[in-house]
Amino acid sequence: MSWDTVIGLEIHVQLATKTKIFSGASTAYGAEPNTQACAIDLAMPGTLPVLNKQAVNYAIMFGLAIDAEIGQVSAFERKNYFYPDLPKGYQTTQLEKPIVGRGNVEIQLADGRTKNVRIHHAHLEEDAGKSLHEGNFNSSFSGIDLNRAGTPLIEIVSEPDMSNAEEAIAFAKKIHSIVTSIGICDGEMSQGSMRFDVNVSVKPSGSDTLGTRTETKNLNSFKFMEEAIKREVARQIDVIEDGGTIAQETRLYNGETKVARSMRSKEEANDYRYFPCPDLLPVVVSDEQVEELRRNLPELPDARQARFVEQYELSEYDAGILSSDAAMANYFETVSSACKNPKLAANWTMGELSARLNSQDLSIGNSPVSAEQLAGLIVRIADNSISGKMAKEVFEAIWAGEGSADKIIEARGLKQVSDSGALEQMVADVLAANQAMVDDYINTDEAKRKKKLGGFMGQIMKASKGQANPQQVNQILAQKLNELL
């Protein structure tokens, strides 16, 4: 029997505000525990929340980016549950009147197809703090760090429009691309800036009735999300084919151990007893405010991709990769305008640089090689000062902090010899010193002579300490050998 998979996503996006959603405490990442948790974040008696204007604007910008209805009046509710990293005993969130209504996101798939994923809504809410279960304290305790408590989030809720892991990943990446392009989120997955809850169900192929779904919570990488979906789909099909039924439940997936487990069943589901938050008045968004945000909305990934194809004559594929990540797109444009060579700028940004960054788990924002430095290197490749092989050496040296390409080329004596007089002399010297190879070349069938060229090239490059321009040497060598025939 064949099965259809139905997937919906809930995505938590941390907004890139300087301060919390309801207090003036900093949201900077990586501070000492509880140094950015003020009396409001700690729910001290007598404190009241005051809503952050930038958080509201960022939420509206997301709505504009997905062509959604913007709620002119939105309101906050309290979602009640008890957990030590939630000091108030409730999360302030939106339920009845979210700030962003229905919208649409188009995803591109590997086979070139596109698909529309509907957004049900997106709402503003606050993040909780962090519970640490191991540390420099008695093991009968948990440690609570409330620096993250009150960090503004938007929760984006999709319709169940995805039918396999590939589509879900493409959608998640598209949301990542949109929120980083419009600058409302830093997109740092390793710091928890985006977290995914995945709703999965299966049904017999072609059936109109949805199966029972499970929710796998708090996935923080595309890779873990893909694994979790594939495992959950396989598990559900196994259970049903063995005559069992799927229980509606919340699950957790551990990306390190590759093990998923049930967290709570529907019977144990929290009863959140939502009600309107009396501390916050309705939020009214004016048409002028929306129009101003629309006018100033940064370029969206799809528009940027089209512009890269048009302006820099890149392939759709290359333009798609570069524009999918706002930081990478900005980096590429800086390199390209500094070196005036978009094709090489694209190749080096997506190739050598990305590979090197990935190998050390660095984001492009933290690249040891600046855009200006990469542009300096590309200028020297383009004007034939250095060969491709030398370029890799120079790149490594820039990465290691040795300075600009020109400085490294000078210091290491790497300059490629492209002076034709000097190269001709070099070729003549090598031919004179290797008479046996020359005789062998002359006595070889014409069809096979080409293979013999490699030996001469090796000698010449060795004699030049790798600095001879290979294309030029090739030409001169062929010409000189022909003259001997």
Partner 1 sequence: MLHPLNLIGLFMVPYATLIQGIYRAELTDNLMSIERREIEKLATLSRIAINEETINEVSQRLGSVLELVDQLQAVDTDGVEAMSHPMQATQRLREDEVTELNRREALQAIAPETEDGLFLVPKVIE
Binding site for partner 1 (CB under 8 A): 17-19, 23-26, 32-40, 42, 44, 50-56, 75, 80, 82-84, 89, 96-97, 131-133, 135-146, 263, 271, 273, 275-276, 278, 280-284
Q: Are strands 73-74 and 283-284 parallel, antiparallel or unpaired?
A: antiparallel
Name the residue nearer to partner 1 (CB basis): 16 or 321. 16
How far apart are CB 50 and partner 1 at their closest, in Å? 5
Query: Closest distance between partner 1 and the C-beta of residue 286, in Å?
Result: 10
What lies within 8 Å, CB to CB, of 74 at 6+ separation is 94, 97, 98, 99, 123, 124, 282, 283, 285
- Cβ-based nearer residue to partner 1, 3 or 272: 272
User: Which two three-digit tokens encode residue 284?
Assistant: 């009214």
Tell me the closest approach of the beta carbon of residue 77 to partner 1, in angstroms.
8
Categorise residue 46: left if φ over 0, alpha if ψ from -120 to 50, beta otherwise. left
- Chain mean position to CA 6: 25
Considering the complex, what minimum distance in angstroms separates the CB of residue 288 from partner 1?
A: 15
In 3D space, the residue among 316, 285, 23, 286 whose CA is nearest the CA of residue 146 turns out to be 23
Phi, psi torsion values for 465, nearest 5 degrees: 55, 40
Smallest gap from Cβ 238 to partner 1, in A, equals 26
Rounded CA separation 77/155 (Å): 14
Minimum gap (Å) between residue 277 Cβ and partner 1? 8
**Residue (24 or 204) nearer to partner 1, CB:** 24
Alpha-carbon distance of 349 to 324, in angstroms, equals: 13
Residues constituting the chain = 485
Contacts of 23 (CB under 8 A, 6+ apart): 38, 40, 41, 49, 50, 150
> CB-wise, 283 or 369, nearer to partner 1?
283
| Least gap, CB of 90 to partner 1 (angstroms) | 8
Nearest to partner 1 of 138, 205 (CB atom): 138
Closest to 375 in 3D by CA, of 403, 323, 337: 337
* DSSP symbol at 191: G
Nearer to partner 1 (CB atom), residue 278 or residue 454: 278
